Amino acid sequence: MLIAPSILTANFAKLEEELIKIETADKIHLDVMDGHFVPNISFGPHIARSISKVSKLPLDIHLMVTDPLFWIDQFVFSNTEYLTIHVEANDVKETIKKIKQANVKVGISLKPKTKVYDIIPYLSQCDLVLVMTVEPGFGGQSFMTEMMDKVVELVKLREEKGLDFLIEVDGGISDQTIDICKKSGVDMAVAGSYIFNHKDPIEAIKSLK
């Protein structure tokens, strides 16, 4: 299981120290919120760029924004591995094209009420599918077990269509929920509160792996 700590729940007053604490992770997950697509604002390109300079880990950037096409260029750093947009956002086709032109891997995300059916037209172009296991916008929510049905469906689609995208989940991930994720077919898990609120973040990452 790949683990990508979400810095949304990190202590931003001591961000460099927080990043050092999670250096055993596989990726760093950045939740970018515009206050429109989701009812919250997190941070923009300036802080993301600072993170990219401090940490050597690949960046898994999740754009929870209404107009992702506008933002792509501003989040392409030397260690940006994934740029994930929502299928519910504007200009999905054009945004995917732009991400590919930037030589970054394409991710597409589903909110809890969105069906897997809605992303099928884009699956062949995606390197990652992010299944939200909480309503996007705020950290610390409870894991929605029923979202594992989407994971199982994606595993089946991946096999049937001969595709190789990773399946990622985000929301309510802890040592109590990681097992069902693995059994359902999840490849990568995003965890925020569980890791950064743990007395030993490295041990928290190890327990999830």
Output the 3-class SS for 33-79.
EECCCCCCECCCHHHHHHHHHHCCCCEEEEEECCCHHHHHHHHCCCC
In angstroms, the CA 21 to CA 120 distance is: 38
Residue 163 is predicted with a pLDDT of 97
Q: Which is the catalytic residue, given 127, 170, 179, 200? A: 170
Specify the pTM.
Answer: 0.95
Computed over every residue of the chain, the mean pLDDT equals: 95
Which range is least confidently modeled, 87-91, 135-139, 199-203?
135-139
Residue 140 is predicted with a pLDDT of 65
90 compared with 142, residue with greater pLDDT:
90
6-32 pLDDT per residue, tens: 999 999 999 999 999 999 999 999 999
Residue 139 is predicted with a pLDDT of 63
In angstroms, the CA 154 to CA 179 distance is: 18
Residue 190 is predicted with a pLDDT of 97
Identity of the residue numbered 56: K
Determine whether 179 is an active site residue. Answer: no
Residue 141 is predicted with a pLDDT of 73
Ramachandran angles phi, psi of 94, nearest 5°: -70, -35
74-87 pLDDT per residue, tens: 999 999 999 999 99
Q: Which is the catalytic residue, given 31, 34, 60, 127? A: 31
- The pLDDT of residue 196 is above 90: yes
Determine whether 31 is an active site residue. Answer: yes
Residue 73 has which token pair? 């260029």
Q: What's the CATH code of the domain at 144?
A: 3.20.20.70
Residue 161 is predicted with a pLDDT of 95
Residue 138 is predicted with a pLDDT of 65
In angstroms, the CA 96 to CA 92 distance is: 6
Considering its fold, how many domains does the chain have in total?
1
Query: In which domain, by residue range, is 194 found?
Result: 2-208
